[in-house]
Structure 1
Amino acid sequence: IAQDRGLFEKEGLDVRIQQIQQSLQALPALSKGQIDMVASANYVTYFQAQEKGTLDIRIVAEAIRAAPHMMDVLVPKDSDIKSVADLTGRKLAVNVLNNVQSLTFNEIVAEQGAGKPVYRQIPFPQMGAALDKGQVDAVHVVEPFDSAIQDESGARVLVDGASAPVQSIPLSGYITTERYATGHAKALAAFQRAIRGAVAIAAQDPDAVRDILPTYTKVTARQAKKIDLPVFPPTMDATQIARLTDLMKKQGMLEKPIDPATLLVK
């Protein structure tokens, strides 16, 4: 929206967008300075890179937080799995192992007093076929694949992947490096203003998001009208982001706590 509505241009910014399948793929390019920022960068991946010393990251803006049914656990319509407890020891597909999907779902499982599933790594575009063929018992899938699988195979929602206790948890952000942030403070302030403007448009008119999705993703206009959108936060909130880093520490995805407040570009 910021690009399409000229918000970057209004701020005097020349923003060039390169598409990637996963934010993990952009990590080496960001580290080498080949790109300046990763949009909608998966926090889990980048906090782990921060701890390992692969990157010294800075968060320019929040991208999305979890919203109802923007990610679901789906099972075949005739599956004998009727509850989260029934998934104990069964095969559940996630896009990347030991990342945000298993992190958040483990908390849902614990909240309901159930046992963990066995996670299997399957890319989102292949999850529908894997479910149909019985290669896995369930899939943990995000929009737009979520709605598409339900439409195409009649799969049913077992549980909302954004339900308690991980409702509204931050999932991704606009991430740059400390080196870039230090040398480009004015440009990043302008970028933040443009993003805030885009978020305001999205909040006032969700159809603006639905209209723009088919222009830079493989989502069709029909799918875009039906999918459940995430939350687009208007401001950064270190306390909310800390919910995620605290879970990462709790589940062993981080060895030491990370204070997100020290990483925000003010």
Structure 2
Amino acid sequence: MARRFSIGWHRLALALIVGLLASCGSTSNDAASDGQTSTRSLRIGYQKGGSLPILKGNGTLENRLRDVKVEWIEFAAGPPLLEALNTGSIDLGSTGQTPPIFAQAAGTPLVYVASVAASPTGQALLVPKDSPIQSVSELKGKKVAFAKGSSAHYFAIDVLREAGLQYSEIEPAFLTPPDARPAFDGGSVDAWIIWEPYLTIALKATDARVLHDGSSLAPSHSYYLAAKSFAEQHPDLVSATLEEIQKVEQWSQQEPQAVAKILAPVIGVDAAILEEVAKKQAFGLSPINDTIVNEQQQIADTFFELGLIPKKVSIREAIWTWQPAQASAQ
């Protein structure tokens, strides 16, 4: 009797152990399965200008990346966009030439993934319509509004240098576009450097005068930037995004009215204004070559020489190589 009980007990214990192991194995497999099927994400920072809000509006990136959760986050200017890149809140975005230099100097681990030539008239120095100021040289001692670390920051340096003035000879008023507009309207600043579409909006609403645009200045670029770790871990997503931007740019060049209709609800700007902006927008996404690297390095060196960034930065060390011909291979 005791022997039968012992055999029965051993069989029961063995069954319990096997069941427990099977249960543990099932949980592990389920977790592994969950890991394999978890959805990747792509968080894109965009501003009111450029091609990214067009891409957001037409939805082609989501159609292509059906297994990826695409999120869009709007920013008023480039510096806060790259701050979000630094903190891990976004993976990819687009800014003018200056924000990535300030971000690099602050230690942000970013990479330049593509560039596009900026429109020479896409940014301008404005003064009120009744201002006595008639030339850039008359800005000496005046208060000029622009966003710190934005493309307008270097525009200020460049346009002043062309007029024979030093950057130290004006009083910078560091204001983002939403804050600069009321300051400009209220007369608390003498001039304002601003980019599209804020530029056209201001010209329509205030009858401000363009004192100087970028037509006589050195060519400049806007950049698509990504978190370094994201570009290294998900090169297919970066390439796919750039390829879809190329496609939307090819279409946008031919259809400014359609672009305006897509953009209006995305960025909350009147379609008539956006159509005018679209007709002036520069297109032509391309990989970053040595000429562009050298131009960007000169800008970075200028900021360092003026004491506006704390250390020298190397643009070449932050280049991610994109090969458009292979962009579709995922």
Give the TM interval when normalised to the shorter protein: 0.7 to 0.9
Contact 1:75 1:155 in 2 (8 A): yes
**Displacement of 1:32:** 4.2
> Residue 249 in 1 paired to residue 327 in 2?
no
What is the deviation of 1:28? 4.7
Counterpart of 2:175 (choices 106, 122, 138) is: 122
**Superposed displacement of residue 115, structure 1:** 4.4
Aligned to 1:231: 282
Please tell me the residue identity of whatever aligns with 2:271.
A
Residues 222 and 141 of structure 1: CA distance in aligned 2, closer, same or farther (over 3 Å)? same
Compared CA separation, residues 193 and 93, structure 1 to 2 (3 A): same
Which residue of 305, 314, 321 corresponds with 1:258? Answer: 314
Alignment match, 1:150: 203
Question: Matched residues in 2 for 1:30 and 1:128: separation?
Answer: 26
| Corresponding pairs, count | 259
2:257 alignment partner, SS class:
helix
**Distance of 2:149 and 2:113 partners within structure 1:** 25
Aligned to 1:240: 292
- Deviation (angstroms), 1:98: 4.6
Check if 1:212 corresponds to 2:266.
no
Question: Which digits, 9 at most, give the CA deviation of each residue in 1:45-97, with x for residues without a partner?
Answer: 333332332x22122333x5421332111112221111111112211111x22
Q: What aligned pairs does 1:129-168 form with structure 2 within 5 A after superposition?
A: 129-160=182-213, 162-167=214-219
Q: Counterpart in 1 of 2:241? A: 191
TM-score (norm 1): 0.84
Instruction: Find 2:151's aligned residue among 100, 107, 112.
Output: 100
Return the alpha-carbon distance in structure 2 between the equivalents of residues 57 and 163 of structure 1.
30
Q: Which of 80, 94, 97 is the matching residue for 1:25? A: 80
Amino acid at match of 1:7: T
Question: Identity, % of aligned pairs?
Answer: 25
Alpha-carbon distance between aligned partners in 2 of 1:119 and 1:247, rounded to the nearest angstrom: 18
Contact 2:177 2:194 in 1 (8 A): yes
Cα-to-partner distance string for 1:188-238 (whole Å, 9 max, x where unaligned)? 222222121112112333334323221211211122133364323221233
The answer as to whether partners of 2:124 and 2:193 remain within 8 angstroms in 1 is: yes
| CA RMSD between the two structures | 2.5
8 Å CA contact 1:211, 1:221 repeated in 2: yes
Residue equivalent to 2:122: 70
SS in 2 for 1:235: coil
Aligned-partner Cα distance in 2 for 1:224–1:240: 29
Is residue 2:48 matched to residue 1:48?
A: no
3-state SS of the aligned residue for 1:110? helix
Residues 113 and 225 in structure 2, CA contact (< 8 A), matched pair in contact too: yes
Larger Rg: 2
Preserved CA contact (<8 Å) 2:102 2:149: no
Question: Which TM-score applies when normalising by structure 2?
Answer: 0.69
Amino acid at match of 1:197: K
User: Residue type of the partner of 1:69?
Assistant: T
In the alignment, structure 1 residue 57 sits paired with structure 2 residue 104? no
Residues 7 and 197 in structure 1, CA contact (< 8 A), matched pair in contact too:
no
Residue 10 of structure 1 deviates from its aligned partner by 4.7
